[in-house]
Amino acid sequence: MSPVLADVLQVTALIVALALVHRPLGDYMAAVFSSEKHLRVEKWIYRSVGANPNAEMRWSAYLRAVLAFSAVSVLLLYVLQRVQDVLPLSLGFKAITPDQAFNTAASFVSNTNWQSYSGEAAMSHVTQTAGLAVQNFVSAAVGIAVAVALVRGFARSRTGELGNFWADLVRGTVRILVPISVIAAIVLVAAGAIQNFGGIHELTTVTGQTQSISPGAVASQEAIKDLGTNGGGYFNANSAHPFENPNGFSNLLTIFLLLVIPFSLPRTFGRMVGNVKQGYAIVAAMGTIWFVGVVLVTWIEYAHPGAASQLAGGAMEGKEQRFGEGASSLFAVSTTMTSTGSVNSFHDSFSGLSGGVLLLGMMLGELAPGGVGSGLYGMLIMAVIAVFLAGLMVGRTPEYLGKKIGTREIKLAACYILITPALVLVGTAVAMALPDGKEAMTNVGAHGFSEVLYAYTSASNNNGSAFAGFGANTPFFNTTLGLCMLLGRFLPMVFVLALAGSLAEQTPVPATAGTLRTEKPLFTGLLVGAILIITGLTFFPALALGPLAEGLGS
């Protein structure tokens, strides 16, 4: 079988699997967040934290709960890293330095999972499982909770109540993330991923060199790493490591896991607002952008010029040799268009233009399909912008799902879309202006600039992947990137929840002959166009200095 045909079959199998799961999983999640019953284990959790799951919250109270929970999580994870050397199962590792502990705590709590350390050489079993893996679950659940709160804003009327954060957090974890992760972990173990708490093994290679091999609870962390669009790997090589990703089956399974919830949440949205066609319009926009990205990157990498690339059948340097060019490209696009950040090849080795596509996937706001929860609420914000633009073109007050998009709503949406570009561009500019940024670059010229731009794009969009040719483990980058992660995660949530509260208070407007049909293909096209135009106008100058200059000059 030719590599191209194998790649086509792989993408086809992935799309079919996602399509089969989309409806049942989306309906199940809608039922989870619409139910009034609490499981026994959930009641125990509520009692242990002193929460009343039946108390409805306005947007401001919901936001305070999100921020309070996340602040405590940052503090606890920071402390755990600082004292890991005196805890059981330390593996002899030292305590993490203050700046790196802050960066890692901010990273995992914000669902970014940027790693400026080598997991197998720095983090103990307790830190990996009780700290990082736990945050993989709850940070993903926070994203789902905020998305559900925004959906309730569209679905409810004449009330400012958006549900209960603690109930949404616990249900998302207990009923969705944990069960699927358990099944996925078992399958990964069966496929060859490791799962144990053994000590470090010292082995002698065939060349006589000594190699240290670190075991760990890898399969369980790998499952939620991808399912929760987290991305932080147990090992430094992430999903290129055979202990995490042993074969072609596990590779396709991990891609499926990182896409399945983001692509199913639009169905949840459609169910909760009482119109499943609205969900189809959203998932169609997500799927269109994702599929175009996969095709572009795969084509560019196969067609990359040079005698070595032609002999190898593609630009294979830095790619996953076990799975081929197509699997590396599919993984790279899927991980940058979600907020996952896990990698099975080094993005630094991708050609200039395909590296630009990966950057663009993050700059879009990771909407196609985006992170768990964050992808849906980001796409709904863009839908509000698209409706507003359509209203300007026809001279009609914009409406979306029976809610008027007035001055307050559009200001909140505009603030949302301005936060991440400000963090990316200001952060990159400051880094390039100071010696710290230049010293961290392992390349010069356009590619070196792309490394810095990629780092701040990844951090501010809560992605977590890196070009891997960039020395980010310094106090300057640990601090600035950590701040970008926190601001890029929680500032947008302020405007999302404020918008949800504003929408929930409105009285629904009946549809008329002049109402824009937002469930039609025309609106899907308008939505995709609005996303590309807004992103293009914002980031084109930066892309022109980096990946475009490199790609067009090669």
Structural domain spans, the chain: 372-553
With CA atoms as reference, report the closest residue to 488 among 69, 110, 72, 137: 110
Query: What is the predicted pLDDT for the residue at 277?
Result: 95
**What does each of the 554 residues of the chain score in pLDDT, given as a tens digit?**
677 888 889 999 999 999 999 999 999 999 999 998 999 999 999 999 899 999 999 999 999 999 999 999 999 999 999 999 888 877 778 888 999 999 999 999 999 988 887 767 778 888 888 888 899 999 999 999 999 999 999 999 998 899 999 999 999 999 999 999 999 999 999 999 988 877 677 777 777 777 777 777 888 889 999 999 888 877 877 888 888 899 989 999 999 999 999 999 999 999 999 999 999 999 999 999 999 999 999 988 887 655 445 444 555 666 667 777 888 899 999 999 998 888 888 878 888 888 889 999 999 888 889 999 999 999 999 999 999 998 888 777 788 999 999 999 999 999 999 999 999 999 999 998 888 777 777 777 888 888 889 999 999 999 988 886 677 788 899 999 999 999 999 999 999 999 999 999 998 888 777 778 899 999 999 999 999 998 888 898 888 888 888 877 76
The residue behind tokens 């807004």 is 534
Whether 104 and 117 have beta carbons less than 8 Å apart is answered as yes
The verdict on pTM exceeding 0.75 is yes
3-state SS, residue 88: coil
HSE-up of residue 310 (Cα within 13 Å, Cβ side): 3
Query: What is the predicted pLDDT for the residue at 53?
Result: 93
With CA atoms as reference, report the closest residue to 264 among 20, 531, 36, 11: 20
Q: Hey, which residues does 210 pair with through a beta bridge?
A: 204
Query: What is the predicted pLDDT for the residue at 349?
Result: 80
In this structure, what is the dihedral angle of CA atoms 41, 45, 47, 50, given to the nearest 10 degrees? -160
Query: What is the predicted pLDDT for the residue at 150?
Result: 97
Phi, then psi, of 358 in degrees rounded to 5: -65, -40
The residue behind tokens 């090849």 is 345
- Cis, peptide link before residue 369, omega less than 30° from 0: yes
3-state SS, residue 142: helix
